[in-house]
Amino acid sequence: MGMVDVGEKPIVRREAVAEGRILLRAATIEVIRRREVKKGDPFAVAEVAAMTAAKQTHLLIPHCHQIALDLVEVAFDMDDRGILATCRVVAQARTGVEMEAIVAVSSALNTLWDMLKYLEKNANGQYPETMISEIRVVKKLKGM
């Protein structure tokens, strides 16, 4: 076993887009809309977390290759029930960047949870409505 040898594969443009959702209480959404989150702008912090995570994927997932990324884009779409995070990763590489996109989205969502958890806790200190879900690769391109 071990890491797959990609040394003979050609370097081509690779792109992956991943997305995931965090479900939040309506009251939390209102605090975000009013820009009153105690820890600051959750989208700015989550964007930086996603970019950092994408670049560090090889340290987190044992069989991933270290890839020099050309682009990491992060976007957020908030509705009345939560936030959809989307991450696009592009590289010139011998292997795909799907894991980088997935790890980036996961980190963005985890960061949002961390920044908003004080708003999500119920009287018992639990998170009955908060959920991270639907993390998936929505697009993968190779050699465009």
Q: Which helix (H) or strand (E) holds 142?
A: strand 131-142
Tell me the sheet residues that pair with 48. Answer: none
- Neighbouring residues of 26: CB distance < 8 A, sequence distance ≥ 6: 80, 81
Question: What is the per-residue DSSP string for 12-59?
Answer: EEEEEEEEEEEE--HHHHHHHHTT--TTS-HHHHHHHHHHHHHHTHHH
Q: Is 113 helix (H, G, I), strand (E, B) or coil?
A: helix
**Catalytic residue IDs:** 114
